[in-house]
Amino acid sequence: MDPQELKQGIAELYDESSGVWEDIWGDHMHHGFYNPDDQVSGSGSDHRAAQIRMMQEALRFAGISEDPEKGPKTVVDVGCGIGGSSRYIARKFGAKCQGITLSPFQAQRANALAETEGLADKVSFQVADALEQPFPDGQFDLVWSMESGEHMPDKRKFVGELARVAAPGATIVIVTWCHRVLGPSEESLQPWEMKHLKKICDAYYLPDWCSTADYVNLLESLSLQDIKTADWSQYVAPFWPAVIRSALTWKGLTSLLRSGMKTIRGALVMPLMIEGYKKGLIKFAIITCRKPE
């Protein structure tokens, strides 16, 4: 898929599906973080709490102080969805947040929610490409990408832009879907694995996947410091089964049918995400680092 077609596909997918998602799941368009020992009920509030926990855990993992005084003051939310993370971070730290997305629907909805929630002076959203961010160098003390990296066709350029807009000493947080790290003797994934990922890519407008190790190499090549990674796959395991259950409710089904083919196609490959996690092919990764002072 050529980059222009990919960008258009991503924008249209989210223009079409974001309303359905918000209707059923609220304003955080990302996985939840679950305690593997807890029994997860079917209630939506459990999952929304887990989505908030995901942001809390990501901030903690990145070493961001809980103290609002010491927290970030300027934030970019790369692939901002309908602005859930930005509003959460703005409230928590009193930070000014700017979000970018390829979807005009998302940017509009995110700004409307900010207005409704009295945060329009703190957060703003615009349509822009993460590979060519519309910001000057060194502007943000927290660079946040919550599940948008998987959509980036050029991971080197993506990481380069995150580093470029980061201020000296800034923290960069990337939470993203990856494939497993290849073994020492492996040149590539196995044919069945590539086929499995291709089906997911076609439905979700994803370019080629990479591993956590690939991200680490890219960050090291940019001389970023304190690079830390973790595989959080076990903590997100209940997420996709819950999304499937919500899609199979009457409300979910009627919303899906109204939303259009791209959303329906996305719903049909959800079992492949579950299978990919179970087989150890798909990893839910967090990668954090710091730009040198």
* Cα-to-chain-centroid distance, residue 115: 23
Is the pLDDT reported for residue 3 higher than 80? yes
Q: Which CATH number fits domain 3-290: 1.10.3720.10, 1.10.540.10, 2.170.260.10, 3.40.50.150?
A: 3.40.50.150
The answer to whether 78 touches 117, Cβ cutoff 8 Å, is no
d(CA 215, CA 229): 9
Closest CA to 208 of 1, 66, 24, 56: 1
Res 40: pLDDT: 62
Q: Which sequence spans correspond to the domains of the chain?
A: 3-290
For tokens 């947080």, the residue is: 173
Confidence of residue 1 (pLDDT cuts 50, 70, 90): confident
The answer to whether 55 touches 146, Cβ cutoff 8 Å, is yes
**Whole-structure pTM value:** 0.94
Res 39: pLDDT: 64
Per-residue pLDDT reduced to its tens digit, 30-58: 999 998 776 665 556 688 889 999 999 99
* Alpha helix ranges (H) inside the chain: 3-25, 44-61, 84-93, 104-116, 155-165, 191-204, 212-221, 233-236, 239-247, 250-259, 261-268, 270-278
DSSP string covering 10-23? HHHHHHHHHHHHHH
